[in-house]
Structure 1
Amino acid sequence: MMEGSSAEEALSVSASSIRITDVTQDGDVLTFAIASQKLDSSAGVCVFRIYEDFDWLQQSLFSQENLPGLQGIIFPPLPSKALTSQSNTQTKALKQLGFLALGQDWQSYCKAMEFYLQQVAAHPTLCKCTALDSFLINYESPGKQRGRKGIFNRLSQAVEEMRKESHKDVDNFFQNERNKNTNLAALSKVATEKLLDVVMTEQKLALACGHFSTSLHLCVNQDDAAAVAFSKVCLKLSDVIEAVKQNFEKVASNSLSTLGLGLDLESRYQEAEKEMLFRRTCKLIELETVKKSTEKAKGNKREAMEAFQKAVEKEFNLISSVAKQEIERFHSSRVNVLKNFLIGWCELQLNTAKEFAEFYSQHLEACRNMYSE
């Protein structure tokens, strides 16, 4: 969701050229074809990756512990692993993936994975990670190299997480941001769930219209004049219901491919910002604990504690500085991203409305002609 003008300078491929062009399923494994354009030539490159390769990349980004201020970065959120097994119910898939579980041939899921790669490649800091370049251009799968679990995974699994999340911040900027993030994360999640309910209802209505349209054909009878007349009415009504079915399908598909993906991305990014703010809060608590220990220390031990306190304070200030830049970039870009998704959604729905308004007018005219005969 965040753009960076320096991103393409650190990669051997163009960040904006990254595309998932195809996906194949073999049992429970999805294999993604990832194409991109090299910067130093007109040649393109295409590699094949499975989900474990994406997870390796994410862990590699998390594990750059020697990179100053890394804990202040809002990491592009990697979608959950797709449930491909036939034994998994749609309810379970929807709970885990939401909109990404819908659509044909994993199109929505592929688009989300594509967004993930583009956002990592467009990030001014993360794009410099050598693992990203390796992921995009090396033909051999990197997933065989076990990625180390970064510090962020350990922090997110802390038993005292709830206590740390409610810890009051010393900086009003971050305290206000935490409060806003809590509200926006909840609201974006609800908005995503509500739109998902609407889309699924439209799909169910389309299915019901299909059954109704088919059933009307069973009423066709050619035994006498009255039966023939009734059959004509049934066939014409079947055509109308079929048009209604196609309308529901198109409207649902429009929402799925635009606003649905946008809200899903927004919801996952709010969680990513929440994780960043939590990491900073953990470092704040660590600093406050060190300060208390320094105050109690005596003699030579106090000098060592003071030196350690300065190091922790320096690290905390750096994390806070990086976090502020990330938050500013995040807010400016998320508005543009959501705006683009909304515009795309409105345009598609408007075109669909115009298209089917014409169809309905044609059916109405046909009905008038039928009764005027």
Structure 2
Amino acid sequence: MMEEVKEVTSALSVHGHNIKVTEVLKDGDTLTFLIVSEKLSGTGEYHVHRTYEDFEWLQQNLFSQEDVPGIQGVIFPPLPGKAQVNATSKVIKQLGFLGLDEWQPYCKALETFLCQVASHSILCKNKAVEIFLTSSERPGGQRVKKNILNRLSQAMEEKRKEGHKDVDDFFQTERDQNIILTISTKTAAERFLDVVLTEQKIAVACGHFSAALHLCVEPGEDPGKQDFSKICVKLSEVFDSIKKNITSVAKNNMNTLGLGLDLESRCQEAEKEMLFRRTCKLVELENARRNAEKAKPVKKAPMEEVKKAAETEFDHICKVAKQEIVGFEGIRVKMLQQALVQWCETQLLTAKESASQFNQHLQAFKGMA
């Protein structure tokens, strides 16, 4: 197992925008993902196998770069939650579209995460990214874990600081908008998931009804029975076509707009976390300034040093954060727009194919008459 890596010294040897998660292998409850990266040298590709724990190792190394100036202003690409084989309803509720028994959307979400990390001007310099994408060995290192007291104290701190008035109108406006968008996108993703789940249930019901119609077919030479049997068979074919149509519609919904809304929701949460980190640093800076003002002469010098250090750190965070927000909004809008376009295109194609098929069924019924 490789030791934990925190240095920010390496440059990637792969194309950051051309990383693919091409396959998922199941071994009991363990999922292993095949990741393919194109070499910058143009001499081939890296093929590595990674588990979800390896993805967590990478994420923790990115989170632990405390020595990088302004790192707390970075909007860290959101890593999807851990998928499970034969997911329960609770897991589906937590993961949304990524919790359904379809691995293409989940692989695409992991792929997006890696591309965003590898193409990020700050995060791509972390040596852990290069190791994750190119090393034939499994990455290692203990994942940072917080105990329950830390989580409770952080929750209490968040309640105290989340409503703190900002000194910069740009960030205050962004915080206000983010609160609305975080709730709205999460709700939209949940409602759209309900639509897809309902479509899947309707498709299953149509399949059952199609099979049940075959039970109505009766043998014999009686003309009435023969006509009735032909109608049942034809109706069975119609409902089988309806099943295939609704299944295609549900799959299109999931792989296009569903995946886009899921990513949008997780990205808004990632920005919310960054904005909260910056707000916490703002509170620390204001406290440092007050302490420096109230300090006695004997402690004045060290308190001034603490204040200057806090001001420098906060300036770095704000500079990075503004760049991140501008870039984030451009990428976010482009990806959601792309999801909407793909959704419309796939649904139009499915509608045309289904209309042609249903027209054939109609002509067949007219012929029977």
Helix, strand or coil: the match of 2:49?
strand
Q: 2: CA distance between counterparts of 1:253 and 1:245?
A: 12
* Whole-angstrom distance in 1 between the partners of 2:145 and 2:207: 49
Corresponding residue for residue 349 of structure 2: 351
Q: d(CA) in 1 for partners of 2:42 and 2:335?
A: 30
Which residue type is aligned with residue 41 of structure 1? G
**CA contact 1:77–1:269 (8 Å) conserved in 2:** yes
Match in the other structure for 2:7: none
What secondary structure, in the 3-state scheme, does the structure 1 residue paired with 2:83 have? Answer: coil
Instruction: Give 2:113's aligned residue.
Output: 116
Cα distance, 1:158 vs structure 2: 4.6
Aligned to 1:206: 203
Partner deviation per Cα, 1:323-371 (whole Å, 9 max, x = no partner)? 0110000111111111111111100000000000000110000100011
Counterpart residue type for residue 65 of structure 2: Q
> 2:101, 2:356 → 1: CA distance?
26
Say which of 348, 355, 366 aligns to 1:368.
Answer: 366
**Which 4+ stretches in 1 moved above 2 angstroms?**
147-150, 154-159
Matched, 1:61 2:57: no
Counterpart residue number, 1:222: 219
Name the SS of the counterpart of 1:159 in structure 2: helix
Partner Cα separation in structure 1 for residue 143 and residue 15 of structure 2: 25
AA aligned to 1:309 is K
> What letter matches 1:186 in structure 2?
I
In the alignment, the residues of structure 2 paired with residue 171 and residue 265 of structure 1 have an alpha-carbon distance, to the nearest angstrom, of 28
Give the distance between the partners of 1:160 and 1:279, measured in 2 at CA.
11
Cα shift at 1:66: 0.6
Q: Which residue identity is paired with 1:239?
A: E
> Counterparts of 1:149 and 1:330 in 2: how far apart (Å)?
28
1:15 counterpart SS class? strand
Tell me the equivalent position of 2:31: 30
Identify the residue that residue 13 of structure 2 maps to in structure 1: 12
Rounded Cα–Cα distance in structure 1 between residues aligned with 2:185 and 2:42: 42
Maintained 8 Å contact 1:59/1:149:
no
SS across alignment from 1:36: strand
Give the fraction of aligned pairs with identical amino acids, expressed as a percent: 56
* 2: CA distance, partners of 1:13 / 1:251: 36
The letter for the 2-side match of 1:161 is: E
Cα distance in 1 for partners of 2:283, 2:96 equals 35
Show CA shifts across 1:74-95 (max 9, x none).
Answer: 00000011123x5x52x11211
Aligned-residue offset at 1:21: 1.2
- Which amino acid is 1:127 matched to? C
Kept after mapping to 2: 8 A contact 1:63/1:149: no
Identify unmatched segments of 5+ residues in structure 1.
1-8
Q: Structure 2 regions of 5+ residues with no counterpart?
A: 1-9
Per-residue deviation, residues 9-38 of structure 1 (Å, max 9, x unmatched): 931011122111111111221000111111
2:189 — aligned with what?
Answer: 192
Mapping 1:1-373, distance limit 5 Å: 10-84=11-85, 86=86, 89=88, 91-104=89-102, 106-142=103-139, 144-148=140-144, 157-223=154-220, 224-371=222-369
> Normalising to structure 2: TM-score of the pair?
0.93
Distance 2:349 2:273 in 1: 40
8 Å CA contact retained: 1:62, 1:149: no
Alpha-carbon separation, structure 2, partners of 1:112 and 1:333: 15
- Range 209-218 or range 296-305, more displaced: 296-305
- The 8 Å contact of residues 168 and 175 in structure 1, kept in 2 or not, is answered as yes
- For residues 57-86 of structure 1, the C-alpha deviation after alignment (integer angstroms, 9 at most, x for no partner) is 0000011111000000000000011123x5
Asked whether the equivalents of residues 220 and 235 of structure 1 are also in contact (C-alpha less than 8 Å), the reply is: yes
CA RMSD of aligned residues (A): 1.6
Contact 1:34-1:47 at 8 Å conserved across structures: yes
- What amino acid is aligned across from residue 345 of structure 2 in structure 1? E
| Length-normalised TM-score, structure 1 | 0.92
Deviations 1:246-270 (A, max 9, x none): 1100000001111111000000000
Residue 121 of structure 1 and its aligned partner are, at CA, apart by 0.8
